Amino acid sequence: MLDLTGAKEFAPEGESLRELVQTFEQSLVVEMQKIEQAMERQDALTVEHSLHALKGFMPLFAHPDLAKKVTDLYQTSRTKPFGETCAVFNELAPNLRVLLKEVHAWPGIYDSASP
């Protein structure tokens, strides 16, 4: 799931790449929490905004297939009933959790050593 090809175009050096991956990790955690909480509240607008944020950075950090699924889900959130968005997100969430685990396991994310 983790694919740093796009991220390395923005931050080819070790320390800057590490900082970029850390920012992605934090954003992924926050946006997933926002989506899950908003789905419980039936807050479609917050889900749409968080999916927009995910859509924006996913191509830099995720395999293209997963990035496309997130982009497609964002479009679903804008054009389809809220229930459909929730169902698709729930199907996609395990993949996002795997991605988050891979980010956590990425060498150098928690120290200043280069990856």
Contacts of 93 (CB under 8 A, 6+ apart): 32, 36
- Find the radius of gyration of the CA atoms of the chain: 14
**Across the chain, what does the average pLDDT equal?**
93
Whether residue 75 lies inside any domain: the answer is: yes
Query: For 104-109, what is the mean pLDDT?
Result: 86
Whether residue 19 lies inside any domain: the answer is: yes
Q: What is the DSSP string of 80-94?
A: S-HHHHHHHHHHHHH
Whether residue 54 lies inside any domain: the answer is: yes
Whether residue 87 lies inside any domain: the answer is: yes
Residue 111 main-chain phi, psi, to 5 deg: -140, 175
Which range is least confidently modeled, 12-16, 32-36, 39-43, 54-58?
12-16
Whether residue 113 lies inside any domain: the answer is: no
Q: Is the pLDDT of residue 109 over 90?
A: no
pLDDT value of residue 114: 42
Whether residue 112 lies inside any domain: the answer is: no
Residues across the chain: 115
Residue-number span of the structural domain to which 41 is assigned: 5-105
Whether residue 111 lies inside any domain: the answer is: no
Q: Is the pLDDT of residue 77 over 60?
A: yes
- How many distinct structural domains can be found in the chain? 1
Global pTM? 0.89
CA distance 58 to 17: 15
Whether residue 114 lies inside any domain: the answer is: no
Tokens 């955690």 found at: 29
Taking the C-alpha atoms of 38, 46, 106 and 115 in order, what is their torsion angle to the nearest 10 degrees? -160
pLDDT over 90, % of the chain: 86
